[in-house]
Structure 1
Amino acid sequence: MSRTQLLPTRWFPLAVGAATAATLLLGTAAEATSPTPGRHGTATARPAASAYYTPSQAKAKLRQAGITWRASKRCEDKNRNGCTSFQGIRRTTVDGVIDLRHASHCWIVITGAAEIPPHKTEGAYTHGKGYKVDIALGDCINKYIVNHSRTTRGSKRVAGTVEYLREGNHWDITYRPTGSTAPASRAWPTLRSGSRGHAVATAQQLLGVKADGRYGPATARAVKAFQRGHRLGADGIVGPATWQRLAPTLRTGAHGTPVRALQTQLRRHGARIGVDGAYGKATAVAVRAFQRGHRLTADGITGPTTWQRLLTTG
């Protein structure tokens, strides 16, 4: 919370083990009814339930990810200053914080969530509407946010549809809907003899030849052989049609050379993952973090659009 003094760290376990009267008040009670309290405690219509986690669901997800939370007044009342409430928190907000935890490998402590006071109530993307969280400052998370976002107007930083604002003793983070800002279109990179760089190295990995990032005779031969095998024009140029066959859609459970090529690209973009050829949880988290940072649908599936962004940015 930005206007109240934070509790000492000895209260962390109380927040993490929240099976208390406050949980009964805001968890069980909120889950049993569909309305969400308005600014002055009156019931207001609640949007589709699928867009939200209940307080108990949100806390269970956060606890499983190793994320803690605290409030200066040890309460969870959405309409009371000094509380930290998950009543009316959006799924995308909770999932976004969890992705941040996994991608950064930093400890994260939530100090503000979907409560209304003392946060402002105007605007489309507010705390009260479930789009924002506040997290405590820390050397690890501070460095990660600065290194994985860019500055915009004033002191605000952005990474795709995620906005960061450093306010006093915390980061104010806004998780805007993925479709709120349209991503710029991207094309596949065109590679031919003489080309160099990371996209060439990825193509070489996918082709199973030495990945030195230089498009020489051996790479040209491998490309032509691949094109003939897939009934494409064997011109030795890696264009859109060749890329679409060469870079398959990958998801959790995939294995092999294409996954290693993907993991190498993700590492180039800052992901802290191994290159083991197994599309497991860490790889899926890294993909979602990359997608969020480039205004793509954060579904953890590496399809054509995600491949294009990996190959043409950074």
Structure 2
Amino acid sequence: MNGKPATPPFSACWTRLAVGAATAATVVLGTAAQATAATATPAAASVYYTPAQAKAKLREAGITWRSSRNCENKNKNGCTSFQGIRRATVDGVIALKRASRCTIVITGAAEIPPHKTTGTYTHGKGYKVDVALNPCVNRYIPQHARKIGSATWAAGSVEYLRESNHWDIKYKGGTGPTTPAGRAWPTLGAGSRGHAVTTAQQLLRIKADGRYGPATGQAVKTFQRKHRLAADGVLGPATWQRLAPTLRSGAHGSAVRALQAQLRRHGARIAVDGRYGKATATAVRTFQRGRHLTPDGITGPTTWRRLLTAN
């Protein structure tokens, strides 16, 4: 690959699909959309990155790629090619990198062999990438997506299939949310202030003053080491996932007090007594209904995220 725009060798038999008045018409890209950047229509040009553009975006995000044969030929087995890669696919991998803070290594992209060639969402049509397995990615995806099969997870329009030596990731409609509810955990670090910091301090069982100073940073590092996370002192998604426990009726302690304080911030008239009784469960259900969540009265990851990020 020489970095110049190239024509994705897709089938020329795609047609326009009428979706109806509610969604107007969705155009399934045909031959004209496969032209090079120099001759493509503006609409088509917005759908794909050229190989050079894709590699520049990935490199800027700290994402690397490799192939077993050290090649970039779209039509050759063992290569990793960005010829005909969709923008949403590249942007989706970058979103995964930023949300997870994991090392991301792409081992397959828009090349045709040895991947499946039938269907809409294929590697050859630019919808999929393969990402090498590593402990961070292997932990992050199951924690932030819902399981839909024996080795398959989904978050929004993104599907993750764990195979023997890589994650096969399909970006059907965009980058997808970084979490199933579409709201990421807040990322907190030195200098952060506010209610989310207070909640983190309560969960860490340290002085809760709402300021992310050295003591809070050290407490986060200690917690991260205990749970075998990267001890960087930054409270991001992976740390929140371990720090904020799932709570339900009958629970008690500092985590329940942190929850009750958050519920009061959102208007609940309950006592901050550390007991997950009927009043707390009712307040959780009321909050969940107001955010279109399942009103089960259980405070799991999705409810915690919304409590921490909702105004």
Provide TM-score, normalisation by structure 2. Answer: 0.50
Highest RCO, 1 vs 2 (Cα 8 Å, sep ≥ 6) = 1
Provide TM-score, normalisation by structure 1. Answer: 0.50
Instruction: Name the structure with the higher helix share.
Output: 1
